[in-house]
Structure 1
Amino acid sequence: MNGPILFRNIGTLLSGDLAHPMLDATSVLVDGGVIREIGTEPDAETVIDLHGATLAPGFWDSHFHPYFGDYSPRQRVNGAVERTVVSGVTTLISAGAGHQPGMYLPSPTLPNVQAGSAGHGGDPRRARDARGTKALAITMTEAWRTERPSGVKCYAGTVFAEDGFVRDDFVDLAANGIRMLKFQRPISRIADAETYRSWAAELGLLVMTHTGNRSMTKDVASIRDSLRAIDPDIAGHVNGGPTPAPREAVDWLIDHGRAALELVFIGNLRVAAHVLRRAAERDELHRVILGSDLPGGTGVVPGAMLRTIQLLSHLSDVPVELLVCMATGNTARVHRLPGGLVAVGEPADLVAWDPVEASETDDFLDCVAYGDRAYPGLIMIDGVVVHHGNPLLLSPKRMPTIHRNAPALAAGSV
């Protein structure tokens, strides 16, 4: 499609912005991959008629574990990323690349599918050092700059904290596009963790923690104390990945930390509901972001983001339109990235949603709150329609129709 693209007859327009989650408009004009106008209907080369369906920002998965290309070695699955896009996700944030066979084997006390080679003479510590983790992070960043299955945006610049880093490593990482330092496995000393945190802040890297069943350093037994010392920008899977941290650590993050509070599909839903309720009580829903923590040992669930929104709507009093913001605009803002919003000047990453045929509901928000499955009828990334029609076998009630070279439609005469 060349030239301006006009979305018209939008039934509900979700913004991704907590301050104004729904916009009073029925049209959006896209040109050059960017949202140019909202609420107007100028002539356009292409008109996409939503017939009353919902238009929303594409979901952002704030906790994704990429490999090379569209393959997951943890589950030996091809096509997981493409199916995730088809399920309404347009942006992935890497929580670290830890699934490379032979690279990041777990410790003997944390076995998983990758540990098999350790039983054949492999060293489970192999490549778990500053040199190995740095090289992998830079390689992944370069690979995903151009590898975009179904047009997805994958921000893969995340490096795991390991013993042995010096400041020059952080300078090099920042120069090569690394955006985030993640404390994934325990490093040896809390003093080093605090130094890493300081270097990261100095050079503009975000800091994320694996928030779960272990301390971030070997010399501090308390999970809460290690989190307090690091004071992350993002508390990764605060509801567990899959096992959450003790309640005292979770509550410290809510009450005293500055971190964004990430809730993930594979985690503990009771803890997720607790975090969401506490954040709402503190008027701090802007701190909550959503992710899947997939692919991983739990499996591959392309529809995890929508399902997480749905489950949280059932476990809390937070309206669906605000939960959508936590999976879109909140994540973009926390990660200091463009997108996640329906606003003039933002990237045109948009999804048309509607209830599945035969649902008792007639609107996306009601459908999600009720518990039925909603389906995307059209997915756009950077102003390009990457999926249109019936990619998930079941059809939405109102399928968008595309009319090319139709200024008369744009003018409303048809």
Structure 2
Amino acid sequence: MLIRNIGLLFSGDVAMPLLDADSILIEGGRITQVGRALEGAGPRIDAQGCAVVPGLIDNHVHPAFGDWTPRQNQLGWIEAFAHGGVTTMVSAGEVHVPGRPKDPVGVRALAIAAQRCFDAFRPLGVKVLAGAPVPERAMTAADYAGMAQDGIRWLGEIGLGTVRDPEEAARHARWARAAGLNSMIHCGGPSIAGSNRMGHEAVCAADADIVAHINGGPTSLSADELTKVMAGTRRANEIVHNGNPRTALHALRTLGEMAALARLVVGTDSPAGSGVQPLGILRTIAFLASVGGLDPGVAIATATGNIAHWRGLEQGIIAAGRPADLVFMDAPLGGAGRDAAQSLALGDLPGIGGVIIDGVARIVGRSRNTPPPGRIPEWTT
């Protein structure tokens, strides 16, 4: 597959967000070459000057089973996210499964079942990285080691279960890391029933790979306490759509002053009581770029390459050898922006004109959820 006539090509790399290239070659589901005026055999896509970005990654979802969420009793939410440019989702815990077990055996069983189900079921091609056990006080190091042997890679939010004190949060995060699991800790006030307030003492002590929703999920810590979290942690800090916008800006500015934007990742934290947001990642990028003043390419990196780095994923970066997960977007019709980047800087959502996942065209033409893009790629076989 050859993609040519690309306008802006965003890399997903926070250090070099914009590439000097207008063509991408794809073979076997992976990018083989990025450059200018490339030629190749197979299907051809004329981007018509649209921007191309890496497939967006939602760093914080709460799936159940199938393309259904009991949280809002909604069908088709994952496919809807694909129409918002999301090609990968990372589970922060399957917490909305009715009757979610909380004993160690049940926690392990649910995580393994979720991982296996979504490994075999990809709505519209979306990669749902599920199977994220929520730590419970009765669990031991052997539970984490056993789950890792069974294929579990992610740890759900520390603090959504019975683990709440700084010492035990640190102990469970340490066990998870020793087993090879990527960890996350809740930050802020309680959310679901049975969850806990996790303040800066517990968050900093845990030293998890991801500080979940530093702007609240949905209730935020104070700005002063959040500053302590950002100064006291050295890994990723997450801003979510379903959080506090005021403290999101505080987090953005603080990380910027710390020269630590490579630590910033974004998610929706959905499905949730706030609903299901198919355009939540796009909206968060636009919020950071417009209200927050972040360079649009860097804002895109917070939803792509930054997450890839902290989650240990191959996707999220446009470069040779990486999975061909790509989104075509352009300024929306009727907007003030001339292209996707300027639209994001002005706070408008770009229109999506196509989505490719693992080199397979999943959405051809206008997304059903975004505003109509000014330009749409032409697809030929």
Question: Shared fold (TM-score greater than 0.5)?
Answer: yes
Between the aligned partners of 1:327 and 1:397, the Cα distance in structure 2 is 23
The residue number in structure 1 matching 2:25 is 29
Please list, as runs of the form range in 1=range in 2, the aligned pairs for 1:209-224 lying within 5 A after superposition. 209-213=185-189, 223-224=199-200
Contact (CA 8 Å) 2:170, 2:202: kept in 1 or not?
Answer: no
Deviates more, 1:129-138 or 1:331-340: 129-138
Contact (CA 8 Å) 2:137, 2:162: kept in 1 or not?
Answer: no
- The structure 2 residue matched to 1:99, chosen from 88, 96, 100, is 96
Between the aligned partners of 1:95 and 1:189, the Cα distance in structure 2 is 19
> Which residue identity is paired with 2:134?
F
Please list, as runs of the form range in 1=range in 2, the aligned pairs for 1:239-254 lying within 5 A after superposition. 239-254=215-230
Query: Shift in Å at residue 188 of structure 1?
Result: 6.4
> Which residue identity is paired with 2:74?
V
- The structure 1 residue matched to 2:45, chosen from 48, 60, 73, is 48
The residue number in structure 1 matching 2:128 is 154
- The structure 2 residue matched to 1:319, chosen from 248, 272, 295, is 295
Please list, as runs of the form range in 1=range in 2, the aligned pairs for 1:121-136 lying within 5 A after superposition. 127-136=101-110
Query: Shift in Å at residue 360 of structure 1?
Result: 2.8
Residues 1:296 and 2:296 are matched in the alignment? no
Between the aligned partners of 1:188 and 1:356, the Cα distance in structure 2 is 45
Q: Secondary structure at the match of 2:269?
A: coil
Between the aligned partners of 1:211 and 1:288, the Cα distance in structure 2 is 15
Residues 1:395 and 2:372 are matched in the alignment? yes
Query: Shift in Å at residue 226 of structure 1?
Result: 1.7
Between the aligned partners of 1:259 and 1:249, the Cα distance in structure 2 is 17
The residue number in structure 1 matching 2:14 is 18
- The total of aligned residue pairs comes to 374
Deviates more, 1:379-388 or 1:128-137: 128-137
Residues 1:202 and 2:197 are matched in the alignment? no
CA separation of 1:185 and 1:351: change in aligned 2, threshold 3 A: same
Residues 1:81 and 2:55 are matched in the alignment? no
Query: Shift in Å at residue 317 of structure 1?
Result: 2.3
Deviates more, 1:222-231 or 1:13-22: 222-231
Query: Shift in Å at residue 43 of structure 1?
Result: 2.6
CA separation of 1:191 and 1:391: change in aligned 2, threshold 3 A: closer
Deviations 1:59-118 (A, max 9, x none): 100001111110011101111100100110000000100001122xxxxxxxxxxxxxxx
- The structure 1 residue matched to 2:210, chosen from 194, 212, 234, is 234
- The structure 2 residue matched to 1:377, chosen from 338, 353, 356, is 353
> Which residue identity is paired with 2:103?
D
Q: CA RMSD in A?
A: 1.9
> Which residue identity is paired with 2:243?
G
Contact (CA 8 Å) 1:253, 1:259: kept in 2 or not?
Answer: no
Residues 1:70 and 2:46 are matched in the alignment? no
- The structure 1 residue matched to 2:310, chosen from 327, 334, 353, is 334
CA separation of 1:188 and 1:346: change in aligned 2, threshold 3 A: closer
The residue number in structure 2 matching 1:163 is 137
Deviates more, 1:34-43 or 1:292-301: 34-43
> Which residue identity is paired with 2:225?
A
- The structure 1 residue matched to 2:115, chosen from 117, 133, 141, is 141
Deviations 1:25-68 (A, max 9, x none): 11011111000011141232111001111011011000011111
Contact (CA 8 Å) 1:232, 1:258: kept in 2 or not?
Answer: no
Contact (CA 8 Å) 1:200, 1:206: kept in 2 or not?
Answer: yes
Query: Shift in Å at residue 222 of structure 1?
Result: 7.5
Q: Secondary structure at the match of 1:207?
A: strand
Query: Shift in Å at residue 191 of structure 1?
Result: 4.1
> Which residue identity is paired with 2:31?
I
Deviations 1:326-345 (A, max 9, x none): 00000011001111011110
- The structure 2 residue matched to 1:38, chosen from 14, 34, 39, is 34
CA separation of 1:242 and 1:33: change in aligned 2, threshold 3 A: same
> Which residue identity is paired with 2:377?
P
Greater gyration radius: 1
